[in-house]
Structure 1
């Protein structure tokens, strides 16, 4: 007896079905890409609210409790960060001295200066000053590392923010007065913070500026922050983001230094 052969042709995917599958794949890939951007935006907002804003609040709390800015003398205030260690012979703002050419006092950090900071030296007693007045610092990276914050750059590599405080003499390129210095900012993070703090990303105007960028002439248009996320970090980079080398996935993104002017 002959076996009956099924003469029905084998069914395959139609063009419509293949198109639907490709559309679904595209939607999934797009959702993954958007999800990464949303996650990064959420991390940047967290850095602004949980780290930068809280350090500004801690600084203002210090002023309210001590009556002077961080590291200044309560008996002979000079209205400058670390003013207690400032040499009066170099010029005293309370006596009308000319402060333009004065060498500023050391910055106040916890440990060494932040990477790429312009200041030559730092006094490593930031935590001790706040602890002395019982001021709670932001959680930061960990206990004892409240001045640091760890995050991932766009290549997925770790970057560390660090906070220091210092006084800039009149005529300083990025503005005079008491400032918070934030190191370890990738270019996109610096722009996001500037946008949220000043309303626009401008490297030389407003409260949030790039270190070393001169304020220029009043009334002129601002300038963009140096660097972008296609540039990699180099050990010999001086922070002006002139490095034009394209980064690889394994490279750290180039980092910048920001100056955040305090209101006291």
Structure 2
């Protein structure tokens, strides 16, 4: 006598639509968390750049002035009250003893010079930010939005009167991606305006004839580092493997 076993329910190994929807929702949440995490990490890095590098160089500059009585690179015996003031040059007649101050041209004081920024700081006993490494305190390395390395460099210079990016002694900050430049501008001045405040774009142009206030920074993160056609509102063609466009800012010093 044969025994007949009733067939059980079919063995379905696939996912139901509900299960698939749940899996996709979880994947979406994970991807969203990763993207948010990257933004949070980048903002934290930008805050570190401002507080541990840019602000500390401003502190070092002020400490030099307080200790030496003149801006960095200026002569103590014949002070010009200008960064690198002892190499004051008049563009009209190259006579250091006179001329139109508005036509003066004073070189940037950078660490790459033979008697550079670091040498002045060490002679004055000023502690510098750690920067990239010992001997490269004027530089800082970070990752741009494409994950490629970028290097900030700090110099100081004196801008003649009526310089649109800020007259007087300024910190020259090179190697800023557009988003980092705007972040620092917002942090320093309360708004990302390339033309106004203490933090400005180096090659910013003056207000137009209509009197429109302010100006946008002249590039954005869609452009790569070699694209000379960058604009604030344009759309570049940067690839994931490209370095993002970089800009230079002038940060006006108190002294």
- Report the alpha carbon displacement of residue 16 of structure 1 after superposing the two structures with TM: 2.5
State the match for 1:221 in structure 2.
213
Aligned position for 2:110 = 109
CA contact (8 A) 2:131 2:137 kept: yes
The 5 Å alignment of 1:89-238 reads: 89-90=95-96, 98-102=100-104, 104-111=105-112, 124-216=115-207, 220-234=212-226, 237=228
Unaligned 5+ segments in structure 1 are: 112-121
Q: Which residue of 1 aligns with 2:230?
A: 241
Deviates more, 1:7-16 or 1:74-83: 7-16
- Asked if the contact 1:109–1:123 (Cα under 8 Å) also holds between the matched residues in 2, the reply is no
2:255 is equivalent to residue 253 of structure 1: no
Shift of 1:148: 0.3
Which string of whole-angstrom CA distances, capped at 9 and with x for unpartnered residues, describes residues 16-55 of structure 1?
2222221111100100111111111110000000100000
* 1:189-243 deviation per Cα after TM superposition (whole angstroms, max 9, x unaligned): 0000000000000011000000121343796321110111110111x84xx8359
Q: CA deviation at 1:245?
A: 4.0
Larger Rg: 2
Q: What is the root-mean-square deviation in Å for CA atoms of aligned residues?
A: 2.2
**1:140 and 1:149 in contact (8 A); partners too:** yes
3-state DSSP of counterpart to 1:107? coil
- Asked if the contact 2:207/2:213 (under 8 Å) is kept, the reply is no
If the length of structure 1 is used for normalisation, what is the TM-score? 0.86
Structure 2 portions without partners, runs of 5+? none
Q: Distance in 2 between matches of 1:190 and 1:106?
A: 23
SS of 1:108 mapped into structure 2: coil
Q: Deviations over 1:121-152 (max 9, x none)?
A: x6651100000011000000000000000000
CA contact (8 A) 2:181 2:249 kept: yes
TM-score (norm 2): 0.89
SS in 2 for 1:76: coil
- In 1, distance between residues paired with 2:37 and 2:117? 38
